[in-house]
Structure 1
Amino acid sequence: MIRTYIWLPRLKYGGSVASSITGWGHAAIEIIDGVYISKWPKREDTPFGYTMCYEEDLDICGTEDEVIEISNLDEKAMTEYWEKARKKEFNDVFHNCCRVSAKTLNHGFYWSNFNSISTYFKRFGRTYSNLSGSTIHAYGEFFNQITTWTPYTVSGLAKYIKKIVE
């Protein structure tokens, strides 16, 4: 089981300028077996470019606005994606918390038992390990590139996937 945490955008006023720490909102995913997925820019409170646990995000963002629990996803595929994604440098548009969370959800869904592509390969006796790494990207990358990922869209994606798999 996984939990998708959503912090919606809000303005915090400190003097005359809105705070940028939580002004954009945030999205993170916790895989219950111990993996926490939360991308941040490198700064004093996130020196590695990601947080290690929910409690760290709680300290930075405050109480989350929404938690969406989902079962039946391929957690191994999600963890493998995060191992690669967390090493990449943060980018406001192309590699931020929401895009990483959305792509992690997509990886878990693509290889779950509920996706038509995985069902096809199972039906014909093929295994996922025989597929090239580009297969997953060909299937979903177009949608990832045309979507502006925000806490709202990550929330919608998580709810959509939850309806399908549960």
Structure 2
Amino acid sequence: MSEVYEVQVVGTVIGGHATPADDYQGGVESIIRLNPSYPVETVMGLEEFSHLEVTWRFHLASPADVALHARSPRNDPRWPPSGTFAHRNHRRPNQIAVSHPRLLKVDGLDLHVTDLDAVDGTPVLDLAPWFPAMGPRGSVHVPAWVNEMLPNYWTNASDR
């Protein structure tokens, strides 16, 4: 059952991170520049939200990077192997990601954001405002390796 679904890019990340990195994603501002053919009313009311939910493509990754097997996170033997869908990286089949940046301002079709962990030139596939009421229900838990691996994820990039 291999169905193909085509999507159109709704915008592009301008500025922000120049190259992909595993950590230090915080404190970097960028712009999500929406398709100029969209009427400006497509963003009406968006400025009232603090955060967005942004779906984007790992455009610098290669299809050869896809890894449909179990492996240790970041290939670090301290952490147990886990399957492809237990990771949040570009090695998944569709090489897409979801991020929740803070919306700083709306300027026409330019959405100024901070803490978007995508790089300059990244194609944005979709975006929506973040609704806390639609977030996870109940307690959230993760394996220990997640917190061990990501203690610096949102540290300001300027602190590298």
Same-fold call, TM cutoff 0.5: no
By percentage of residues, which structure has more strand? 2
By percentage of residues, which structure has more helix? 1
Normalising TM by the smaller chain, what interval?
A: under 0.3
User: With CA pairs under 8 Å and 6+ residues apart, which has the higher RCO, 1 or 2?
Assistant: 2
Q: TM-score, normalised by structure 1?
A: 0.26
